Structure 1
Amino acid sequence: MTTTDPDTGFRALDATPMGYGSMRRKEDARFVRGKGRYLDDIVLPGMLHAAILRSPHAHARIVSIDTSAAEAHPRVRAVITGETLAGLGLAWMPTLSHDVQSVLATDKVRFQGQEVAFVVAEDRYSARDALALVDVEYDPLPAVIDAQHALDADAPVIRDDQEGRTDNHIFDWEAGDAAATDDVFARADVVSSCDMLYPRSHPAPMETCGSIASMDPVSGKLTVYTTTQAPHAHRTVYALVAGLPEHKIQIISPDIGGGFGNKVGIYPGYVCAVVGSIVTGAPVKWTEDRSENLMSTSFARDYHMRGEIAATHDGKLLGVRVTVLADHGAFNGTAQPSKMPAGLFHVFSGSYDLAAAHCAVTGVYTNKAPGGVAYACSFRITEAVYLIERLVDVLAHDQGWDPAELRRTNLLRSEQFPYTTALGWEYDSGDYPRTLATALDMAGYDELRAEQKQVRSAYERGESPMLMGIGLSFFTEAVGAGPRRTMDILGLGMADGAELRIHPTGKAVLRLSCMTQGQGHQTTFAQIVAEELGISPDDIEVVQGDTDQTPFGLGTYGSRSTPVSGAATAMVARKVRDRARIVAAAMLEVSPDDLEWEKGAFRVAGDPAAAATMNEIAMAAHSDLELPDDVEGHLDATCVYNPPNLTYPCGAYVCVVDVDTATGQVKVRRFVAVDDCGVRINPMVVEGQVHGGLADGIGMALMEVMAFDTDGNHLGASFMDYLLPTAMECPSWELGETVTPSPHHPIGAKGVGESATVGSPPAVTNAVLDAIRVRHADMPLTPAAVWRAVRGTPLRTDLAIG
C-alpha cells in the first residue's frame, strides 16, 4: 500500500487503502488543528473545581484535622475528609489486586503525597488556596523505604489497619519446578549469578489524571468524564463502591493525552469528585498537577531480583533460577490478572530452549505510592525480559563468549512452535533465528566489533577517553491478556466486545470496549473492517470511550488492543459478511453457496457479471427484499471475543553506544530494532509505536529514577528531577521486521504497543556495560553511575532507588 520516493527516500502513503497498509491516521486531522477534546476542554454548566490536600510525610499518625478555616473561605463549597467518606460508606475502595486502599487517610498516612482532604470551590485557584487553610496535626512515624528491610523484625507495620497484621508481607508466589531446576543446576558445567534491580519508574503521560463527576439528583444518574483506559471496568468499580446500578452510571473517556498504564486504575481523586458532586449538587472537576502525578499515581517496576543461569561448557543454556522481592508500595494496587500476584513475570525463561526454570516472588509493603501499573509491559514482562537478557550477558562476560553467538545457539527454532516453556506457557509462533540474523545483518555486527577493538585500543593507549559498546537483547512478550478462564481483574474476565452496524448507504459504525490513548485506533480498527468487508476506512466510524455507547470490555493496556479488540473487530465483521451473503443470494436469486466473495462484493460462481456490492447489499438489507423466514434484515452483529491464548510477539535489538569515561556521559549512536508482531495492519502506526517504546527504553536505562531519602521524601516530583528522554538523546531508529502470523488470532496479528519498551532497556544497559567491561550495574546508568562504575566507586547508600 506504499511506495518510496527514490529521491527523498520517504514513503508515499495511500490516502484510503481498502484494507491493510500505511494510510494516514484518520484522527490526526483534528489533532493537528487543535480540535482534540481532552478533559481540560470540558466545561459543564455550574461546574466547581477541586483540589487535594496531600501528606508531607511518608508515614505518620493523623492526630487531628481542622477544616473550619477552609470551610469559611467565601469561595469554598465543601471540604471532604476521610470522616465524611466513612459516613457515606466510601472510605475504602478496591485496588486492581483485590487489596483495599483508603480514599482519604483517616488513621494515618502511608506515603508522601497520600490524599488527606478534598476541597471543592468555585474555581481551581480558590480550591488550591484553601488547602493551606486545612490544619492537619501529624505524629511522624519511621518510614520503610527499602523493600529489602520491609520484612525485618523491627520494621514498622505499614498496613496496621488490617486485623491481625504483624508485618509488611503481602504474598509469596512461585512458578516452575524447583526440584527439576535444582537438579539441572547441580549437573551444569558453569553457573553465573547476578543481583539486579529494575528500579521504580513512572509512565509520566503528557496529560495528567483527572475527572469530572456530575450526579443528577432528579434522575439519579452519575456521569463521569475521566482520563481512563478502561471505561467499563471503572463503571463496575464505581457501582461496587457506591452501590449504584451500572445503568445509572455513564463513564466517558474523552481524548487522552497518553496513558501507558497510568490511567487504568481508579484514584482517590476520582471517587472524591463523585462525592463532591453528591454533596454540592453540582458537577465537580479535579485535575492533578505534574508533581501530584509523579508522587502519587501508579508507578511501575521496583523489583529486586537475584538470577542464576546454568549452562554447559559449549554454551548450551540449561536452566534459570530466580528469587524476587517486589516492592508494591503502601497499598497493593498492582494491575495484574488476579490468579498471578506477580503478574506474568514467569515468562522470564525468555526466548530460549531451557530444560527447567523456577522463580519465587515475595511482595512487600513500603512507604511509597501504591502500584504498580502495567506500564508499557504486559504485567511484569519488562522485568522478566530484563532479567534473562542481563543474565545471558553476564554469562557471556564470565565465560568470554560472544553474546550474539550465545543467543544464536540457544534461541528457539521455528520448527519447535507451538512451544511450551518450562513454566507452562505456550508460545504460538516465531522464527527467532531469522529475526536475530536480520538485526545483526542490519547493524553490521562483525564490522561493529572490529570498530570497537580499534576504539578500545586508542583508549588503552591513552589517546581518547571514549569507549564503544554493543548491546543485544532478544525478547518474547506475552500480550492480549486473556482468556477469561485464567485471567481476570476484580473478577471481570478479560474478554472484549465489538458491535458493527452497516447503514443503508453502506457507511459503518464500529463500537468497541477498548480505549485509545494515541495509538491510532480509529484508523487501525477501521482498516480491519475495510479488509473484511471492502468498505473504505473513510466510511467507517470507530466509537470508543463511552459506556452508554459501547459494549462491555476491560479496556486498553498490556498491548490488548489488536490481540483482543482487533480480533473482536475481525470476527464481528465476518458475522456481518455472513449475513450479507444471505442478502446477496436473495438479491441475485441464487443459493448462498453459489456466491464467491471478492473484497467488496459477492459474485455468482461462473457468472462474474452477476454481482452485488456491499453498498447494494446494505441498501437491500433495509428494503422490502424478501429474505428467508429465519433471516432478519439489516446488516449488524455483535461479538464478545475471549482469546484462546495470549499472543507472543518477539524482537531482536542491537544498540551501539559511545561512552565518555571522563564524564560518564553515554550517547546512543545507533539502535537497530527488528520486531515480529505478526500481521501488520498499518505499518506506519506500528513504526510509531516502536519509536515511542525505544525512546522509553533509553529513558529507563539512562536517566529515569524515582529516588527517596531515608525519611521517605520523594526526590523526583518534577521534570527537573525525573528526567525524560527527548529527541536529543535518541538516534535515528533503524527498524526492520519479520512476520510470523499468530495461528490462533483471526488475522494473525500479535500486538506491538509495548514490545520496544520491553526489549530496549536491556539492549541499552548491555551496550553500556559492554563498553566499560563491567559485569553489572543497575539502571539508570546516569553519567554519575557510569563514572563510578568505570572507577569501581560504590554508589551512595543514603538513598532508596526504586
Structure 2
Amino acid sequence: MTTTEQPAHADVGFGRRPRVEDARFLRGKGQYVDDITLPGMLHGAILRSPHAHARIVSIDTSEAEAHPKVKAVITGATLESLKLAWIPSLSHDVIAVLATDKVRYQGQEVAFVVAEDRYSARDALELIDVDYDVLDPVIDAQRALDPGAPVIRDDIEGKADNHIFDWTAGDKDQTDAAFASAEVVVKQDMLYPRVHPAPLETCGSVAWMDPVSGKLTIWCTTQAPHAHRTLYALVAGLPEQKIRVVSPDIGGGFGNKVGIYPGYVLSVVGSIVTGAPVKWVEDRSENLVSTSFARDYHMHGEIAATRDGRILGLRVDVLADHGAFNNTAQPTKYPAGFFHIFTGSYDYPAAYCTVKGVYTNKAPGGVAYACSFRVTEACYLVERIVDCLADELGMDPAELRMKNLLRPERFPYLSPTGWEYDSGEYPRALAKAMEMAGYEQLRKEQAEKRARGELMGIGVSFFTETVGAGPRKHMDILGLGMADGAEVRVHPTGKAVVRLSVQTQGQGHETTFAQIVSEVTGIPSADIEVVHGDTDNTPFGLGTYGSRSTPVSGAAVAVASRRIVDKARLIASAMLEVSPEDLEWDRGKFFVKGDPSTAKTIQEIAFASHGTQELPEGVEGHLDAECVYDPPNLTYPFGAYICVVDVDKGTGQVKVRRFIAVDDCGPRINPMIVEGQVHGGLADGVGMALMEVIAFDEEGNCLGGSFMDYQLPTALECPSWELGETVTPSPHHPLGLKGVGESATVGSPPAVVNAVIDALKPYGVRHVDMPLTPAQVWRAMQGRPFRTDLAITDE
C-alpha cells in the first residue's frame, strides 16, 4: 500500500501525536459514571448470595423497608410483576436479574435497596433476612457432566444435566488421516485458568425515567451503548427512541463492560419505582466476584509431525466452563468464539477441534477479555504444544516455528477451518525478533548458566490474531449484525466532527479517529472533534471489543471521509470552472492539473458548500457523509515474541528479565498509542502467566475477591519492553489497518510460560499450568504441580 507524502503541517495525517484525551485525564477532569450527580438522586446497593448453590426459602425485607432513609427494597417478586425478572444474555441464554428460585453462584444478586445515600443503602442490606437451603455446588467443569452431578439450570424446562453446547471445527477424517501417517505425535493437557479483566473503574450506572417525557436515560459503564439500548427496548418494551444510553469516560473495560449486568437493570427499576434518578456503583469485591470473567478452558491438544519437524495436523478437545449462566460475548454462530481459528500461524493441512460448554456454580460470563473471542486460549494451546513438540524432537523451538510458519506467497491463506487470513510476512517478523533478542547469544548464555546450576529460560511464541468482528453475514449478537456506522461533517469554517458507533475505554479514539479523517481529507486533526458514547448523538453500531474499533469503525470513518473528498471534488470543479476529471488532489486541496497554484483548500470548499456558490447538478450542498461499514473479512494482525526469564532454585520465583515483541498491525495511525497498547497487553500477559487466577474452594467460595488475593502485575514484575514492528497492510481494509489493541495479550502468556518451562528443563518438566506462581514453580521442580483453579492440593 502506498500513501501520499506527509504534508509540512505537523498535525495532519498519521504519525505521533499527543493524546488529546490526556489533557483532562491528567488533570483529574475526566467524567465517569460515579461523577454523575442529578437533583434528587438516590443510591442503590445489591444484596448478594454468600452461597454458591442454594434454594431461596424466604426473603424478609420488612426491617430494611423500615429504615428511615430507605426508599424501596426490590426483590425478584418485584421484578416478576414488572416482567423484568429475567433478561436475555448475549449468547441467547437468560439471566436472572435477582434470584427468585435459587442462587447459582456466590455473589449472585438477591435484593436491591434504594436509599437516600450509598452508606444507608449498604447498611440496610444487613437488615434483609434470607433463609437459604444450601445445596451441593458444582465447581469443577470436568465433574459438571458426571451422572448424578447437581443440575444447576433446573429453571430450564427439561434440563437434566449441566451441558450447554457441543461445537466442532475442521475436518475430522482428514485430521485422523494426518495423525495416522505421522512419525511423531505429542499430547498435552493444559488449563487456561479463570482470570478477570479487573478494570481500574468498576461497573456502575445512573438511571432516570423522566415521568413527564417518558424518556429513560442511562449513564452506564458500557463498551456497547447502542446494543444496550436495543436490548433494554426489547426487554422493557419501551420504544427505542425513548431510551438514551450515555457511556462517558470509562476507566478500562477489557471486555468486562460489554454485557448488561443486573445492577444496570436494577438502577432502571429503582428509578421507575421511586420516581427519582438512581445510581448504582459496585465495589471492587463485587466486580471481582460477580462480573464477567474470562478463559476457564480445560484443553487437550495433540500435534502430529514428521521426525524432521514438519507439522502435519492438530487435534484439540476443549471443555469450556461458562459459569451459572451462558453470558459469553460471542457471535451467535460461534458459541466457542473464534476458537475455530485455532490453527495459529503454521502451515499444516489438517486440524479438528471440539468444544463442549458446561454450567458450573461460578459467576457467569466468558468475556472477550483483551482478546478476540477466545483466540487467546487457542494461541496459548498451539504455542505450548509446539514447544512440547520441539522438546520431543530435540529441536530449537524457534527453528521448529520457522520451519512451519506460513510463507508470504501462501496469502491470502485458507486455514484448515475455512477462514481466509488476509496478509502476512511471518518469517520476517520472527527473524526480526530473534535478531533484536540476540537469540544465538542468549542460547550460549543459557548453556553457560546451566553448567553453573543456574536456571535461565528463553520462550518463543508466534501468534495470529483475528479481529474486526464481522462480516454481518457471518457474525451477529442477538440478531444484530456486526456492522458499524460513522458520520463525518465539515462545518462552513472547515472544522469537522466525526461521530462514532464504537466506545473508547482508554484506547485513544479521540486522537486516532481524528487522525483517520485528517489522513484522508487533509483537515488538521486539531480541527476535528470526535463524538462517541451517546446513542442520541452517534450512529448505530455494536461497540468496542475484540479489537473492532480500527478494523470496522475505522474503516467506516475512512470511507465516509473519502466520500467527503469525492463530494469536495465536484464542488471544487464548480469553483474553479473545470471538469472534475481535470482536478488533482493534494491532501487538503484540489488544484487544476499542471497548475498547482490554482487550488481550492478543503476549508474553502466547505464554506462554498454552505454558501452562494452554484453547485453542480445533483450536489445538494453541505460537506458531510456517512457510512455503514460491513467488513468483507476479519483482519489478521500477528507477531513474534521472545521472553527471557531467570528462576530462583530455592523459591521458584520467576523474574522476567527481557521481553522482545515484534508486532504487525498494518500501518500505524499513531505509533505512540500503538506502543502504549502493546505495553499494556504485555503487562497483562505477564500477569496472567505468573500471578492472576480466580480460584474456588470446594464450597464454591471465590478466593480472588480482592487485590490482596488477586494479584496484578506492576512495574516491579515487568521489564523494559523491547518493541519492534513489521508492516503488512490488510488488502481489504480501506487504509490497510489491522488493529492491535489485544494482540500483546494473545501472544505474551505462552512466551512467558514457554520461557519458564525452558528454564525447568533440567528437572524434566514439560508443562505446568498457569499461573506460574513461586509455589507452583517450586512444586513443579519437586514433581508435584497442582490445579491452580481449585484450592485443593494433594497434601
Q: TM-score normalised to the size of structure 2?
A: 0.98
Q: Could you say if the C-alpha distance between residues 550 and 654 of structure 1 is closer, same or farther in structure 2, counting changes exceeding 3 Å?
A: same
Q: Secondary structure at the match of 2:382?
A: helix
Q: What one-letter code is carried by the residue in structure 2 that aligns with 1:777? A: V
Q: What one-letter code is carried by the residue in structure 1 that aligns with 2:776? A: A
How far apart in 1 are the matches of 2:10 and 2:75? 54
Distance apart, 1:606 and its partner CA = 1.8
Give the 5 Å matches for 1:769-784: 769-773=757-761, 774-784=765-775
Q: Do the aligned residues in 1 keep the contact of 2:777 with 2:785 (CA within 8 Å)?
A: no
* Residue 589 of structure 2 corresponds to residue 595 of structure 1: no
Q: Choose which of 407, 414, 429 in structure 1 pairs with 2:401.
A: 407
Q: Do the aligned residues in 1 keep the contact of 2:768 with 2:785 (CA within 8 Å)?
A: no
How far apart in 2 are the matches of 1:401 and 1:157? 47
* Residue 31 of structure 2 corresponds to residue 37 of structure 1: yes
Q: Could you say if the C-alpha distance between residues 16 and 280 of structure 1 is closer, same or farther in structure 2, counting changes exceeding 3 Å?
A: farther
* Residue 479 of structure 2 corresponds to residue 488 of structure 1: no
- 1:538 is matched with 526
Q: Do the aligned residues in 1 keep the contact of 2:507 with 2:677 (CA within 8 Å)?
A: yes
How far apart in 2 are the matches of 1:333 and 1:166? 20
Q: Choose which of 331, 343, 348 in structure 1 pairs with 2:325.
A: 331
Give the 5 Å matches for 1:295-306: 295-306=289-300
How far apart in 2 are the matches of 1:701 and 1:797? 12
Q: Which moved more, 1:475-484 or 1:599-608?
A: 599-608
Q: Secondary structure at the match of 1:608?
A: strand
Q: Do the aligned residues in 2 keep the contact of 1:200 with 1:801 (CA within 8 Å)?
A: no
Q: Do the aligned residues in 2 keep the contact of 1:707 with 1:801 (CA within 8 Å)?
A: no
Q: Choose which of 769, 784, 791 in structure 1 pairs with 2:782.
A: 791
- 2:125 is matched with 131
Distance apart, 1:609 and its partner CA = 1.6
Q: What one-letter code is carried by the residue in structure 1 that aligns with 2:11? A: P
Q: Could you say if the C-alpha distance between residues 456 and 15 of structure 1 is closer, same or farther in structure 2, counting changes exceeding 3 Å?
A: farther
Q: What one-letter code is carried by the residue in structure 2 that aligns with 1:785? A: Q
* Residue 538 of structure 2 corresponds to residue 550 of structure 1: yes
- 2:286 is matched with 292
- 1:433 is matched with 427
* Residue 231 of structure 2 corresponds to residue 243 of structure 1: no
Q: Which moved more, 1:261-270 or 1:31-40?
A: 31-40
Q: Secondary structure at the match of 1:709?
A: coil
Q: Do the aligned residues in 2 keep the contact of 1:49 with 1:127 (CA within 8 Å)?
A: yes
Count matched residues. Answer: 783
Q: What one-letter code is carried by the residue in structure 1 that aligns with 2:711? A: L
- 1:756 is matched with 744
* Residue 641 of structure 2 corresponds to residue 650 of structure 1: no
Distance apart, 1:292 and its partner CA = 0.2
1:394-444 per-position Cα deviation (integer Å, ceiling 9, x unaligned): 011122111000000000000110000111010000000000000000000
Q: Choose which of 39, 49, 54 in structure 2 pairs with 1:55.
A: 49
Q: Do the aligned residues in 1 keep the contact of 2:325 with 2:359 (CA within 8 Å)?
A: yes
- 1:735 is matched with 723
Q: Do the aligned residues in 2 keep the contact of 1:671 with 1:732 (CA within 8 Å)?
A: yes
How far apart in 1 are the matches of 2:526 and 2:670? 15
- 2:202 is matched with 208
Q: What one-letter code is carried by the residue in structure 2 that aligns with 1:675? A: D
Q: Secondary structure at the match of 1:147?
A: coil
Alignment RMSD = 1.1
How far apart in 1 are the matches of 2:319 and 2:790? 18
Q: Could you say if the C-alpha distance between residues 357 and 527 of structure 1 is closer, same or farther in structure 2, counting changes exceeding 3 Å?
A: same
How far apart in 2 are the matches of 1:94 and 1:482? 22
Q: Secondary structure at the match of 2:581?
A: helix
Q: Do the aligned residues in 1 keep the contact of 2:323 with 2:358 (CA within 8 Å)?
A: yes
* Residue 625 of structure 2 corresponds to residue 637 of structure 1: yes
Q: Choose which of 547, 561, 579 in structure 2 pairs with 1:559.
A: 547
Q: Secondary structure at the match of 2:325?
A: coil
Q: Choose which of 355, 367, 370 in structure 2 pairs with 1:373.
A: 367
- 2:93 is matched with 99
How far apart in 1 are the matches of 2:96 and 2:173? 41
Q: What one-letter code is carried by the residue in structure 2 that aligns with 1:356? A: A
How far apart in 2 are the matches of 1:597 and 1:274? 52
Q: What one-letter code is carried by the residue in structure 2 that aligns with 1:736? A: G
- 2:694 is matched with 706
- 1:678 is matched with 666
How far apart in 1 are the matches of 2:513 and 2:374? 27
Q: Secondary structure at the match of 2:614?
A: coil
How far apart in 1 are the matches of 2:25 and 2:106? 36
Q: What one-letter code is carried by the residue in structure 2 that aligns with 1:73? A: H
How far apart in 2 are the matches of 1:133 and 1:590? 80
* Residue 224 of structure 2 corresponds to residue 230 of structure 1: yes
How far apart in 1 are the matches of 2:343 and 2:11? 40
How far apart in 2 are the matches of 1:796 and 1:272? 37
Give the 5 Å matches for 1:61-100: 61-100=55-94
Distance apart, 1:87 and its partner CA = 0.5
Give the 5 Å matches for 1:438-453: 438-453=432-447
Q: Choose which of 418, 433, 436 in structure 2 pairs with 1:424.
A: 418
Q: Do the aligned residues in 2 keep the contact of 1:145 with 1:800 (CA within 8 Å)?
A: no
Q: Secondary structure at the match of 1:385?
A: helix
How far apart in 2 are the matches of 1:399 and 1:423? 27
- 1:256 is matched with 250
- 2:276 is matched with 282
Distance apart, 1:798 and its partner CA = 9.8
Deviating 4+ runs (over 6 angstroms): none
Q: Do the aligned residues in 1 keep the contact of 2:55 with 2:134 (CA within 8 Å)?
A: yes
How far apart in 1 are the matches of 2:456 and 2:344? 27
Q: Do the aligned residues in 2 keep the contact of 1:512 with 1:542 (CA within 8 Å)?
A: yes
How far apart in 2 are the matches of 1:796 and 1:192? 21
Q: What one-letter code is carried by the residue in structure 2 that aligns with 1:403? A: P
Q: Do the aligned residues in 2 keep the contact of 1:15 with 1:23 (CA within 8 Å)?
A: no
Q: Do the aligned residues in 1 keep the contact of 2:422 with 2:730 (CA within 8 Å)?
A: yes
How far apart in 1 are the matches of 2:690 and 2:420? 34
Q: Secondary structure at the match of 1:120?
A: strand
1:283-315 per-position Cα deviation (integer Å, ceiling 9, x unaligned): 000000000000000000000000000000110
* Residue 605 of structure 2 corresponds to residue 611 of structure 1: no
Q: What one-letter code is carried by the residue in structure 2 that aligns with 1:714? A: C
Q: Secondary structure at the match of 1:648?
A: coil
Q: What one-letter code is carried by the residue in structure 1 that aligns with 2:572? A: A
Distance apart, 1:16 and its partner CA = 4.5
Q: What one-letter code is carried by the residue in structure 2 that aligns with 1:486? A: H
* Residue 556 of structure 2 corresponds to residue 568 of structure 1: yes
1:636-683 per-position Cα deviation (integer Å, ceiling 9, x unaligned): 011000000000000000000000010000000000000000010000
How far apart in 2 are the matches of 1:68 and 1:166? 37
Identity %: 75
Q: What one-letter code is carried by the residue in structure 2 that aligns with 1:672? A: I
Distance apart, 1:105 and its partner CA = 0.1
Q: What one-letter code is carried by the residue in structure 2 that aligns with 1:676? A: D
Q: Secondary structure at the match of 2:337?
A: coil
How far apart in 2 are the matches of 1:154 and 1:778? 29
How far apart in 1 are the matches of 2:342 and 2:156? 33
- 2:5 is matched with none
Q: TM-score normalised to the size of structure 1?
A: 0.97
- 2:462 is matched with 474
Q: What one-letter code is carried by the residue in structure 1 that aligns with 2:520? A: E
Q: Do the aligned residues in 1 keep the contact of 2:466 with 2:634 (CA within 8 Å)?
A: yes
Q: Do the aligned residues in 1 keep the contact of 2:224 with 2:544 (CA within 8 Å)?
A: yes
How far apart in 2 are the matches of 1:380 and 1:67? 42
Gaps in structure 2 of 5+ consecutive residues: 1-7
- 2:390 is matched with 396
- 1:724 is matched with 712
How far apart in 2 are the matches of 1:543 and 1:357? 44
Q: What one-letter code is carried by the residue in structure 1 that aligns with 2:783? A: G
Q: What one-letter code is carried by the residue in structure 1 that aligns with 2:618? A: D
- 1:504 is matched with 492
Distance apart, 1:40 and its partner CA = 1.4
